[in-house]
Amino acid sequence: MGKAVITNQLTKKFGDFVATNAITFDVEQGEIFGFLGANGAGKTTAMRMLCGLLKPSSGQASVAGFDVYRQSEKIKQNIGYMSQRFSLYEDLTVRENIRFYGGIYGLRRAEIPAKTDQILAKLGIESVANSLVAALPLGWKQKLAFSVALLHEPKIVFLDEPTGGVDPITRRQFWDLIYEAAHQGTTVFVTTHYMDEAEYCNRVSIMVDGRMKALDTPAGLKTAYGVDSMDAVFQILARGTSTK
Amino acid sequence: MDAIIIENVSKSYGEALAVADVSLSIRVGELFGLIGPDGAGKTTLFKILVTLLLPDAGRATVVGRDVVRDYKDLRQRVGYMPGRFSLYPDLSVQENLAFFATVFGTTIRQNYHLIQEIYSQLEPFKNRRAGQLSGGMKQKLALCCALIHKPEVLFLDEPTTGVDAVSRKEFWDMLRKLNERGLTTLVSTPYMDEADRCDRIAFMQTGRVLAVDQPSVITNRFRKPLFAVRAADTYRLIQDLRQAPFTESCYSFGEFLHLTVRSGGVTDLQIGQYLLDKNHRNIEIQPIQPGIEDTFMALMNQPEPTA
């Protein structure tokens, strides 16, 4: 299997501050990769570099086979991205959002209607196809945003706290979608503050103060730290670091 | 004695019903949690209680003051930390705190003892603009500003949303300390695992209260048999269990699936046999006690709330 992400000593400095400090890791194609860390640990900076949005200060990285320095536009075309803060346009309808993102992601005009029907049917939201996204419950928006991020069938999708604030059933339905995407070969790179969700990942990394302090399967991490939950692992690793 | 009394309060925004006939009482000295996802109506209820919104129907009092009639008096007696950062980004840490103290007719010095423990962590940065603080420090400053006038009741609207698991624990430790000094606290959160930190909780979903009680009492209401199940291929395991004739619901819970079976009995052995027939490997099944999240999900699935 190929690698969806390869990094080597990837670093980003803002002035004197080292936000991401020489992180080295690989993500396998089709893997669900959990990217954990306390607030301010450097996750967002690292993700922005991997998505081609921010030039690293030093080190190497490639995503979906493209180099983050030279091929950032290629990266953007070949990844999906969804965050809690930014996903869909509230003032467009469900259908309009899909059409808009279809265009952005370079789908051919003729492909979009079929894709739209497919998404509506899969999520069971045909009845609100022409409603403004603003009127949808948060959980529906999140599931729709995820489907939209996969419109162009990217090799890898980046999810930045995709489930924050949603109810526990919707949160699990969201993970059903993640499993399904991974099962079909899409690599899923996900951040979360829910430690039970860390258990759903094939492997989990934990960032502390800009460095990658741990990387293993959930079972491997629990064994290594002699505890029985990912929450406990996280408390051990992330404690003692400032959350300033 | 009750610090907060809410009687049949409703509020709509246009056609959307945000709070639907909610009644609740919060006792003096209680650390009370309003637990529910986004859109449950928590923020709307908070705003009604701190007199920033008028209810469409029903009435509510806080420390005996009516939220409509006595709003001026009430405002002096409550501290409110909104979900969104609402301090002045262009004022320094100290200026923000002094501002809120002055608005409430007091001084930092007079009530410093109330915030000392929290504010001491901010003091090295007291001349920094509030807008330049990190998330964790903004949150601490907002809490200080909500406490500086010595409120009788503290309202915290989703103080831990988007906050990492370590900082969330620290924040709850801080709340418990404040509460032990007698401060009645109403706090909302979408994180089910924080329910255990409260004396009592109310589950909210789409404007309604699903249940109110001590966390441990609420979980005891879960009546159906519950199993934790695990096997080598989780993805296939979910699919197969959801199609099983005995299954009522099946959801991921960390490394296990939680399987609720229809009442009338299937044993763990029978579940195991079903999975063996489907060629699952490394099967583990054990009966378990429901947690807060199991209970919330079961209540969500009921057509009519039984609060």
> Percent of chain B scored above 90 by pLDDT?
79
Residue B8 has pLDDT above 60, yes or no: yes
Query: Does A213 contact chain B (CB < 8 Å)?
Result: no
**CA dist., res. B130 & res. B85, Å (int):** 10
- CATH label of the domain that carries residue A67: 3.40.50.300
Does residue B78 sit in the same domain as residue B162?
yes
Q: Could you give the dihedral angle defined by the CA atoms of residues B250, A218, A165 and A145, in that order, rounded to the nearest 10 degrees? A: -80
**Planar angle of CA B103, B60, B297, nearest 5 degrees:** 110
Q: Which residue has the higher pLDDT, A241 or B162?
A: B162
The mean pLDDT of B212-241, rounded to a whole number, is 92
- DSSP H/E element including B168: helix B165-180
**CA dist., res. B165 & res. A196, Å (int):** 11
- Kindly state whether residue B71 falls inside one of the protein's structural domains: yes
- Kindly state whether residue B298 falls inside one of the protein's structural domains: no
Residue corresponding to tokens 């406490």:
B147
- Kindly state whether residue A111 falls inside one of the protein's structural domains: no
Does residue B112 sit in the same domain as residue B251?
no
- Kindly state whether residue A18 falls inside one of the protein's structural domains: yes
- Kindly state whether residue A128 falls inside one of the protein's structural domains: no
The reported pLDDT for the residue numbered A23 is 97
Residue of A nearest to B14 (CA): A135
The reported pLDDT for the residue numbered B141 is 94
The mean pLDDT of B136-161, rounded to a whole number, is 93
Give contacts of A164 with chain B, Cβ < 8 Å. Answer: 161-162, 190
> Domain end: B219, B253, B273, which one?
B219
- DSSP H/E element including A14: strand A3-14
The reported pLDDT for the residue numbered A244 is 38
> Domain end: B186, B204, B219, which one?
B219
pTM value?
A: 0.87
Low-confidence ranges of chain A (pLDDT < 70): 1, 85-86, 240-244
Query: Does A165 contact chain B (CB < 8 Å)?
Result: yes
Tens of pLDDT, residues B49-101:
999 999 999 999 999 999 999 999 999 999 999 988 889 999 999 999 999 99
- Kindly state whether residue B294 falls inside one of the protein's structural domains: no
Number of domains chain A is built from = 1
Tens of pLDDT, residues B114-133:
999 999 999 999 999 999 98
Task: Determine whether the interchain pair A168/B162 forms a contact, defined as Cβ–Cβ distance below 8 Å.
Answer: no
Residue B256 has pLDDT above 80, yes or no: yes
- Kindly state whether residue A107 falls inside one of the protein's structural domains: no
Coil/strand/helix, residue A49 = helix
C-alpha closest to that of A175 among B255, B244, B289, B301 = B255
Domain membership of residue A68 as a residue range: 3-90+134-238
- Kindly state whether residue A84 falls inside one of the protein's structural domains: yes
The reported pLDDT for the residue numbered A1 is 56
Does residue B124 sit in the same domain as residue B246?
no
The reported pLDDT for the residue numbered A21 is 96
Does residue B42 sit in the same domain as residue B119?
yes
Other Cβ atoms less than 10 A from the Cβ of B220: the count is 13
Residue B214 has pLDDT above 90, yes or no: yes
B162 min Cα distance to partner chain A (Å):
7
- Kindly state whether residue A115 falls inside one of the protein's structural domains: no
Number of domains chain B is built from = 2
* Residue B200, strand partner residues: B32
Coil/strand/helix, residue B306 = coil
Domain membership of residue B78 as a residue range: 2-219
- CATH label of the domain that carries residue B260: 3.30.70.2070
The reported pLDDT for the residue numbered A86 is 64
> Domain end: B219, B234, B258, which one?
B219
- Kindly state whether residue A244 falls inside one of the protein's structural domains: no
Q: Residues 6 or more apart from A124 whose CB is under 8 A from it?
A: none
B251 min Cα distance to partner chain A (Å):
7
- Kindly state whether residue B295 falls inside one of the protein's structural domains: no
Does residue B124 sit in the same domain as residue B273?
no
- Kindly state whether residue A44 falls inside one of the protein's structural domains: yes
- Say which of A137, A164, A172 has its CB closest to residue B39: A137
The mean pLDDT of B11-32, rounded to a whole number, is 95
- Kindly state whether residue B300 falls inside one of the protein's structural domains: no
Does residue B118 sit in the same domain as residue B259?
no
**CA dist., res. B100 & res. A115, Å (int):** 53
